Structure 1
C-alpha cells in the first residue's frame, strides 16, 4: 500500500491515503499482474476502457469530460514510462473532482 501512496504523492503531495486504498481495493486482482497494473496511454482501447469503466461506471462521468480527464492525465504522467494504474485512476478522479466521493 505504501508503494502506491508514494507513487501517487509524486503527482499530489497531499494525496489522501483512504482514497488510494479504495482505488487499490477497486482494482483488486488487476494489480497482481505487472502488465495490467500499468496504463498504456498509447493504447486507445485501454483508454476507452478507463473512460467507460472507471469514469463512467465508477465515477458517473461520461463523454467529453471523461475523455478530457483521461487525456490530461496522460499528459501529466507523460514523463513516467510505467504509469501505475492506481496513480492514473487517482489523477483521473482528481481531474474530475471526484476524490471526495471516493473517500466516503
Structure 2
C-alpha cells in the first residue's frame, strides 16, 4: 500500500468517525490526489480551525478558485460548519477531509471527474 493509500484510509476513518458518513472512496482519492504533495507535509496537510487567515485561504483557494463558487457569505458558514462537525479542538483536521466534505456540501463532486 502506498503512502497516499494509507493516508486515504486515515481520511476515510475520520469521515466515518467524525461525520458519521460512509465515504465515497473514489472522490476521497481524487481529493487527496488533487492536493498533491501537500498531504505529505505535516503542516500543509492540516487546517487550523481557529486561524482566520487559514480559513480565508480555504475559502479563496478551494471554494472560490477550485470549486468556482461565489463569495456570498455562505462559504465561511459552510467552512465553520465542517470545522465544528470535525471538532474545533481536534488538532488533526486533515485538509483532504475538509475539502472532501465541502465539495459534498456544495454538490461539486463533479469537479474531480
Shift of 1:103: 5.1
The answer to whether the 8 A contact 1:18-1:103 is kept is no
Unaligned runs of 5+ in 2: none
1:24-43 correspondence runs (5 A): 24-43=32-51
Q: Could you tell me how far apart the structure 1 residues matched to 2:42 and 2:10 are?
A: 14
Unaligned runs of 5+ in 1: none
Number of residue pairs matched?
103
After TM superposition, the score normalised by the length of structure 1 is: 0.86
After TM superposition, the score normalised by the length of structure 2 is: 0.80
For the pair shown, which has the larger CA radius of gyration, 1 or 2? 2
The answer to whether the 8 A contact 1:19-1:102 is kept is no
Q: Could you tell me how far apart the structure 1 residues matched to 2:48 and 2:24 are?
A: 24
Shift of 1:61: 1.2
More displaced stretch, 59-68 vs 7-16: 7-16
Shift of 1:27: 0.7
The answer to whether the 8 A contact 1:59-1:93 is kept is yes
SS at match of 2:63: helix
The aligned residue for residue 81 of structure 1 is 91
Shift of 1:85: 0.9
Structure 1 residue runs of 4 or more that deviate by more than 4 Å after TM superposition: none
